[in-house]
């Protein structure tokens, strides 16, 4: 915890990149010496950082320095057998939530505008679907040159964000525009890349994690949900501008910043907490793995190991999602479906049975997606069709889901925000 006046105060209190994967590209220029500080500040804000350096960048700052500050070897070569056997260039491109090139030289900006892929960094920028930003740094004459300005206009048209440059005294002795902006400002702008405003002013209620159904004072019935998917959804909704309430079963996760988190244990407690909050919600997202059954009666004391078999009498828990969808008026209702097989057919059945607007279906019970791990593959099932997302980090899958929900919500409620009703 940093107090006002401490250099890290602003960063910790206003900027969060928790769980974000940032690929920092460093190109050749004197400002490359500041890249180590950019890495440090990004990590201070919670990001995981991988560094890719051009050949020229390594003339200004050593790969060893970048390895020391990022905690990972700096990637430098496109065709490096050793690096490809670890995290290959395509994996690196997929890994990133955002790519920040800082400093970005005039030459690199020109390559990017042309779509060239003649080294690792330019290839990654072309191969990655992640948001891309450049922080130009160059001599003021190079900055003012019409060729550079035309290249920057092309990048902007292609959706690349341009951070800076600042102006002032330059390493070459001249004064003017072309200085790379301050690392702290770069981190703030990088964090803002994740904020979309698509759910501005809306209330979103999210459930996450497992429930615990007591058998006796020391044992519970539960499942393997870690809460990661639901927490990522809550965070993505917050980044989209919503006021978010997260109702969480028992997890080991810290609640996302700027999200109100209520902790519950059982399905009945989750049901009660949702009922208490649902009237204010525009959107309800049920990502929790709620136990369908609970022991009819939890034993008052620890059950002793006497008989060879033990029978538990289970009763149904209330269905939270169905109860929300049955309200009049109902919020926009999004359920999840965790299935071991027949994903789409089961998800369509759940969509219809629970009267949800959308079901995000995922396969569970196999490694690499679903419960506990960091990645997930979602299938978005609605009455008029299905969209399959690729395998993504849960953070990124959540942002895709929230974007999809925002589009559908505004199409269904055009009067609320006509500006967003036709957004795709
Ligand atoms: O938490 P992680 O480790 O990150 O894993 C993520 C996840 C696999 C738990 C998540 O992506 C997911 O699929 N969550 C829903 C799990 C589930 O309970 O699915 P279901 O098919 O049994 O339930 C369908 C829907 O009804 C869900 O939205 C569920 O929240 C809801 N439900 C179920 C039972 C109940 N009594 N009340 C409910 O609201």
- Select from 315, 321, 341, 366 the residue to mutate for testing ligand 1; criterion: most ligand atoms less than 8 Å from CB: 321
pLDDT of residue 174: 81
pLDDT of residue 420: 57
pLDDT of residue 368: 85
Rounded-to-integer distance, Cα 391 and Cα 224, Å? 20
Same fold yes or no, 9-192 and 203-421: yes
Name the token pair of 8: 């890290």
285 lines ligand 1 (CB under 6 A): no
- Phi and psi torsions of 338, nearest 5°: -105, 115
User: Quick one: which of 255, 370, 230 has its CA closest to 18?
Assistant: 255
Cβ burial 346-366 (10 Å sphere, 16+ → b, else e): bbbebbeebebbbbbbbbbee
How many of the other CB atoms lie within 10 Å of CB of 236?
30
CATH class of 203-421: alpha beta
Q: Is the peptide bond before 266 cis (omega within 30 degrees of 0)?
A: no
Asked whether 180 and 6 are in contact (CB, 8 A), the reply is no
320 lines ligand 1 (CB under 6 A): yes
The DSSP call for residue 397 is H
125 carries an active-site annotation: no
Give the full edge-to-edge strand order of the sheet including 131-136: 48-53, 21-26, 98-104, 131-136, 161-162
Q: How do the domains of the chain map onto residue ranges? A: 9-192, 203-421
pLDDT of residue 238: 94
319 lines ligand 1 (CB under 6 A): yes
Q: Which pLDDT tens digit goes with each residue over 23-74?
A: 999 999 999 999 999 999 999 999 999 999 999 999 999 999 999 999 999 9
> Which superfamily is assigned to 9-192 in CATH?
Flavin prenyltransferase-like (3.40.50.1950)
Helix, strand, coil tally for the chain in percent (to 5)? 35, 25, 40
CA neighbours closer than 13 Å in the CB half-sphere of residue 362: 31
What parts of the chain have a pLDDT lower than 70? 1-14, 83-87, 417-424
**How far does CA 326 lie from the centroid of its chain?**
30
> pTM (2 decimals)?
0.79
pLDDT of residue 421: 54
């Amino acid at each position: 915890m940093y107090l006002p006046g401490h250099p890290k105060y602003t960063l910790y209190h206003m900027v969060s990149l928790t769980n974000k994967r940032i690929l920092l590209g460093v190109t050749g220029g004197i400002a490359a010496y500041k890249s180590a500080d950019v890495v440090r500040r990004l990590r201070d804000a919670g990001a995981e950082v991988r560094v890719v350096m051009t050949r020229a960048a390594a003339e200004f700052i050593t790969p060893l320095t970048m390895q020391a500050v990022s905690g990972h070897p700096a990637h430098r070569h496109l065709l490096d057998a050793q690096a490809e056997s670890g995290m290959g260039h395509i994996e690196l491109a997929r890994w990133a939530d955002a790519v920040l090139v800082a400093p970005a030289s005039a030459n690199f900006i020109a390559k990017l505008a042309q779509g060239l892929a003649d080294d690792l960094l330019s290839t990654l920028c072309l191969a990655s679907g992640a948001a891309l930003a450049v922080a130009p740094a160059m001599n003021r004459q190079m900055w003012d040159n019409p060729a550079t300005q035309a290249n920057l206009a092309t990048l902007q048209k292609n959706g690349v964000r341009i951070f800076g440059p600042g102006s002032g005294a330059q390493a070459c002795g001249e004064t003017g525009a072309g200085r790379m902006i301050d690392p702290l400002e770069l981190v703030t702008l990088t964090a803002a890349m994740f904020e979309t405003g698509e759910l501005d002013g809306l209330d979103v209620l999210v459930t996450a994690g497992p429930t615990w159904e007591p058998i006796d004072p020391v044992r519970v019935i539960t499942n393997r949900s870690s809460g990661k998917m639901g927490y990522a959804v809550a965070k993505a909704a917050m980044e989209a501008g919503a006021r978010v309430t997260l109702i969480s079963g028992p997890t080991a996760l810290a609640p996302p910043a700027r999200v109100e988190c209520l902790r519950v244990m059982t399905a009945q407690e989750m049901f009660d907490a949702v009922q208490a909050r649902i009237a204010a919600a525009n959107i309800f997202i049920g990502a929790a793995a709620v136990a369908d059954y609970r022991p009819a009666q939890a034993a008052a004391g620890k059950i002793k190991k006497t008989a060879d078999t033990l029978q538990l009498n289970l009763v149904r828990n209330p269905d939270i999602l169905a109860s929300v969808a049955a309200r009049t008026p109902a919020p926009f209702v999004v359920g999840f479906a965790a299935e071991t097989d027949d994903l789409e057919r089961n998800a369509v059945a759940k969509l219809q049975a629970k009267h949800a607007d959308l079901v995000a279906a995922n396969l569970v019970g196999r490694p690499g997606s679903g419960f506990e791990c960091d990645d997930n593959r979602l299938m978005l099932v609605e009455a008029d069709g299905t969209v399959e997302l690729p395998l993504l980090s849960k953070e990124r899958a959540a942002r895709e889901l929230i974007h999809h929900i925002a589009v559908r919500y505004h199409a269904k409620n055009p009067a609320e925000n006509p500006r967003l009703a036709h957004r795709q």
